[in-house]
Amino acid sequence: MAITVTCPGCHKKFVVSEKFAGKSGPCKYCKTIIKIPNEVPAAEKVVIHGGDSFSSGGKNAEGKLVLKPLERSVKKFNRVRALLVTIGILGALLATFIVGKTINLNENFLIASAGLCVVTPMIVGGLYPLVKKDEMLESIHGFDFYWRTGVISVVYAGMWGILSYLMYTRTLTPQTPTMWAICSIALTLFGIFMCMCFYELEWGNAAFHTLAFICVTLLLRYLAGIVWFSQVIIESAAGKNAPPPPPM
């Protein structure tokens, strides 16, 4: 390690190699004889602390604990939670299938809507542990989690509500594929954006969350035997038996 010395004659500082420690020599500026210290002054020593010295926090010269470091809790993928979520979703699918076989949900729009309002928060909240970032210091929980889940649930359910209204008004029909594409993409992007904002997710995770919800609810509709209800509502209002609509 280099040794910094100060000339007593001209008071200039310069650095000499540690091999000259304990020796004397002339200053390179004023030729005053300088005695080189035998070792680096304590004030100039740089000590790097690590390992055991900070295993439980910083320690002072007496070895007493000064600081306790912040322990970062990294949340990893929880297989048990993922299994419970999967079981819950499968249970909802089975229950929907049974209800669809016992009740004609095409003629009970209010029951179908109520069912969507019930399962939406469960799906939204159940998907969150699967898509949240592992590097988050702390996941959203408690009341904060519930109100955020409620907002996203309203948004997701509202997406279906808007589609239903557009189908009821015949804005969306099997003969308007372009409008279907525009409306579906716009609503999906809005759902992803809201998921990013309220669940604080990155774009990819939020997109997975929104698309997973759409896929699950589409499957629920299929298992419940629900057809695209625009035609059901219109034909029922006209006093006719609503035939199955043409494929979308």
- How confident is the prediction along the chain (248 residues), in pLDDT tens digits per residue? 577 878 888 888 877 777 777 788 888 778 788 887 776 555 555 555 555 555 555 566 666 666 655 555 445 556 776 677 678 777 777 887 887 778 877 677 788 788 888 889 988 988 888 787 654 445 677 888 899 999 999 999 999 889 888 877 878 777 788 888 899 999 999 999 999 999 988 899 999 999 999 998 888 888 887 766 445 444 444 545 444 444 33
Q: How many other CB atoms sit within 10 Å of the CB of residue 72?
A: 8
CA–CA dist 136, 76 (Å, integer): 10
Q: 175, exposed or middle or buried, with CB in 10 Å at 0-12, 13-18, 19+?
A: exposed
Domains of the chain, residue spans: 3-46, 79-237
Q: Which residue has the tokens 């001209």?
A: 10
Q: According to CATH, what is the number of the domain 3-46?
A: 2.20.28
Eight-state DSSP code of residue 19 = G
Q: Which residue has the tokens 């059901």?
A: 232
Determine phi and psi for 96, rounding to 5 degrees: -65, -40
Length of the chain, in residues: 248
Token pair of 15 as six digits: 């650095």
